[in-house]
Amino acid sequence: MFDALKTTTFAAAALAIATPVLADEVNVYSYRQPELIKPLTDAFTAETGVKVNVAYLNKGMIERLQSEGDRSPADVVLTVDISRLAAVVAAGLTQPVESATLTANVPAQYRDPDNQWYGLTTRARIVYASKDRVAEGEITTYEDLADPKWKGRICTRSGTHAYNIALTSAMIEHHGLEGAKTWLEGIKANLARKPQGNDRAQVKAIWAGECDVSIGNTYYMGKMLADEEQKAWADSVNVVFPTFEDAGTHVNISGVAMTKSSPNKDNALKFMEFLTSPQAQEIYAKANFEYPIAPGTKADPLVEGWGSFTADDTNLMTLAGHRSDALKITEEVDFDG
């Protein structure tokens, strides 16, 4: 019986270059933590008999693939955030994958128009609002966050973090460059403190009374509720799903792509198709409190309990195209200063 998961380090991955590739395996480079991947690889191996070798990379995936070149053992890459997926594609490290199964399982806005990558799960970029100090309905749009009524009441992580850059990219798509810049200036003027920490740190600040509103990803609510120390932070806020004034709620993704030099293409395709299947997406989404995207799938009941929303239907590669402008205007307004 096969081991469904073998987590390796960079050094171990390097050794794999000199090891003959077996026909009954698939090799994965992943930015997603091993504990999130294991339930999927266990299920895939049980169904297909194909062994999954996972190298968890904390950083440097593109540089690693570039240095390995055609000798790379990697068949697929798993990552989060559209900017990271787009960067791997832009570096010429992926190949298009044509599959009726993938197309059926992944809605158009969550896959690359040229079939270089496919989305697996989504997370919404939402507002955490104090239960005590923010009334229901006070915030309904992302644009509302720039209203002067929130002066000194908003907390957020760095504006240059990938999650916030993606949101700013979406604002550029809906309101143009100048409109997005004005929006950023408005939020900066409303900050209760200098941007710092991660999304959970902002909710902690609301709990501590340092601010009333924060911006964060949905799955952090699940993570906080699962942590005895952080549960009080989560219990102090409501989850609010804002929309753009002319569209839906901003979402980002986790996704998968086949490497250009994949030595096990058939198994890589099987693995990709499995990951996009309703069965696998529900496993994956539950492990990290995210939303599956295959038609007919449902999120975990805990996640569904936070409320429903309509996702912005802009193709995420369109947003990736605004990334450099989003970073530029974030720096121009000195958002983190």
Structure tokens at 265: 């293409």
What's the pTM?
A: 0.87
Distance CA 79, CA 81 (A): 7
Smallest CA-to-CA distance from 112 within 92, 82, 91, 79 is with 82
Q: What Rg do the C-alpha atoms of the chain give, in angstroms?
A: 20
DSSP for 100-140 reads: HHHHHHS-GGGB-TTSS-EEEEEEEEEEEEETTTS-TTS--
Mean pLDDT estimate for the chain: 92
Question: First and final CA of the chain: distance in angstroms?
Answer: 55
- Topology annotation, domain 6-122+253-298: D-Maltodextrin-Binding Protein; domain 2 (3.40.190)
**Dihedral sign, CA of 53, 59, 62, 63?**
negative
What pLDDT was estimated at residue 284?
87
The answer to whether 120 and 275 have CB atoms below 8 angstroms apart is: yes
Residue with tokens 């340092």: 210
CA 119 vs CA 129, 133, 254, 281, 335: distances in Å:
29, 37, 6, 10, 30
Task: Break the chain into its structural domains and give their ranges.
Answer: 6-122+253-298, 124-250+309-332
Phi-psi region of 95 (alpha: psi -120 to 50; beta: other; left: phi over 0): beta
Distance CA 169, CA 148 (A): 22
Distance CA 3, CA 75 (A): 18
Distance CA 168, CA 325 (A): 9
CATH of region 124-250+309-332, choose from 3.40.190.10, 3.10.28.10, 2.30.40.10, 3.30.70.260: 3.40.190.10
Greater confidence (313 vs 4) lies with 313
258: β partners:
76
Structure tokens at 117: 């990558």
Structure tokens at 76: 């697929």
Do 6-122+253-298 and 124-250+309-332 have matching folds? Answer: yes
- Residues 180-237 have pLDDT tens digits of 999 999 999 999 999 999 999 999 999 999 999 999 999 999 999 999 999 999 999 9
The answer to whether 63 and 109 have CB atoms below 8 angstroms apart is: no
Structure tokens at 179: 């409109």
User: Which positions ≥6 away from 1 have C-beta within 8 Å?
Assistant: none
pLDDT band, residue 21 (cuts 50/70/90): very low
- Residues 64-104 have pLDDT tens digits of 999 999 999 999 999 999 999 999 999 999 999 999 999 99
Greater confidence (7 vs 203) lies with 203
CA dihedral 72→75→78→81, nearest 10 degrees, is: 70
Residue 17 has pLDDT above 90, yes or no: no
Residue with tokens 């081991």: 3
Structure tokens at 252: 């980002």
Distance CA 135, CA 126 (A): 16
Rounded mean pLDDT of 129-133? 98
- Residues 273-330 have pLDDT tens digits of 999 999 999 998 988 999 999 999 999 999 999 999 999 999 899 999 999 999 999 9
> Which amino acid belongs to residue 316?
L
